[in-house]
Chains A and B, each alone.
Chain A
Amino acid sequence: MSSMATVGIAEMGVVKGEDQLITYALGSCIGVCIHDKNSKIAGMVHIMLPTAPTDGSGKSICRYADSGIPALIKKMESIGAVRRSFTAKIAGGAKMFNIPGDSVVGNIGDRNIEAVKKTLAELRIPIIGQDVGLDYARTMTFNANDGMVTIKAFTKGTSTW
């Protein structure tokens, strides 16, 4: 029996074998999925922001790309995943609102995409699939067995890659 584990906003999850992970309604947030095809271990983190505050006041490490992705990797390695076989797939980073004359609200998705890519590059994890940017929400499902991601988007249907 396979099961589906839900990853909330600013949370992470790790599953193995036939199990799947799901995170709902990624807007400017990004779902980062990491897969080890040999051990069939899959990890997902739902990040909201690019970088953790430098004074250490951010309580939830999974809110931020630069602390959430390393934490996910550590958790995957602790149950036997091997970093050199890791591959990543990412989705989200949309621009949900367009306030005239404003760049702060509008850019959060772009800044998240940039931070996720930078963090993965530093950790030498290749991105083998992505569906980022644009202006709509995405629900992301991740299968530990084959590493396939399914995206369901409002008014855009579903895609698997």
Chain B
Amino acid sequence: MGIKSYDDLDSMQLDALREIGNIGAGNAATALSATIGKPVNIDVPTVKILDINEAVEALGGAEKIVAGILVKLEEGIHGAMMSIQTLDVINLMLDSLLGTTVEGYEELDEMQISAVCEIANILMGSYINAISDMTEMAVNLSVPAISINMMGALITVPMATYCYEAEKIMMIEGKFSFDGIMHKHNLLLIPDVDSLTRVLTRLGVYNE
């Protein structure tokens, strides 16, 4: 029996996936701190396995306008990862990196958009490194693509592309603070079904 969906995972396997989230968050704190040049604290992230309509609600509703930054995963793991960023977090990053902020998404210029992509890439890369280290598999990230639009329309894209049968996705809700303010960032990790099985096997929590 292969893993067909997240519904088939037992509690030990879910714990292994949560552990990836924990280590990834630690890596992300270090990387983020180096990028913005300030100390960053990160809380233990919440890892949730949700169906698509639950994920939409958890992220603030289908029509909420967000920036979604998508990377494709290749080699050891096939699938996608998406970072969801809201305007307040984007402004915080821009302020630290470039010393500028914007009133609305439509004001973002090319340089600011590439800064947003770069931050997302660093965050996602931190989690992918955690998976890569723990499973001893190489994982390649594609160049990130960004889309600013209704959240519901963004998160269905990687799900439609990589979860042909699986109906759930893994959401990592991280909390990080710097300058004394707490912020949330959400990452969606969407491995294809074969890759999920491979990860669990490598972590020693999957038996044929």
Contact = CB atoms under 8 A, between A and B. Distances in A.
Interface residues of A, number: 36
B129 to A, nearest CB: 20
Nearest to A8: B53
Interface stretch (B33-41, B159-167, B172-180, B199-207): B159-167
B124 to A, nearest CB: 13
A6 B159 CA distance: 21
Main DSSP-derived SS at the A contact region: loop
B150 A154 contact: yes
A138 B154 CA distance: 11
Contacts of B164: 49, 53, 58
B165 A94 contact: no
Given A57-B165, A96-B149, A154-B65, A27 B159 contact: no
Interface string A113-137: 0000000000000000000000111
Contacts of B56: 8-9, 25
A10 B52 contact: yes
Given A10-B52, A25-B63, A99 B153 contact: no
B80 A105 contact: yes
Contacts, number: 110
A48 B167 CA distance: 11
Contacts of B53: 8-11
Given A10-B52, A49-B164, A57 B156 contact: no
Interface stretch (B15-23, B86-94, B107-115, B139-147): B139-147
B103 interface: no
B74 to A, nearest CB: 10
Contacts of B106: 155
Contacts of A161: none
B156 A27 contact: yes
Interface string B30-53: 000000000000000000000011
| Nearest 6 Cβ contacts at the A-B interface | A27-B153, A25-B152, A137-B153, A24-B62, A137-B150, A25-B150
Interface of A: 8-11, 24-29, 48-49, 53, 57-60, 63, 94, 96-102, 104-105, 108, 135-139, 154-155
Given A24-B62, A24-B63, A63-B167, 19 more contacts: A9-B156, A24-B61, A27-B149, A27-B150, A27-B156, A27-B157, A28-B153, A29-B153, A29-B156, A29-B160, A48-B156, A57-B4, A96-B157, A97-B145, A97-B146, A99-B143, A100-B145, A104-B161, A137-B150
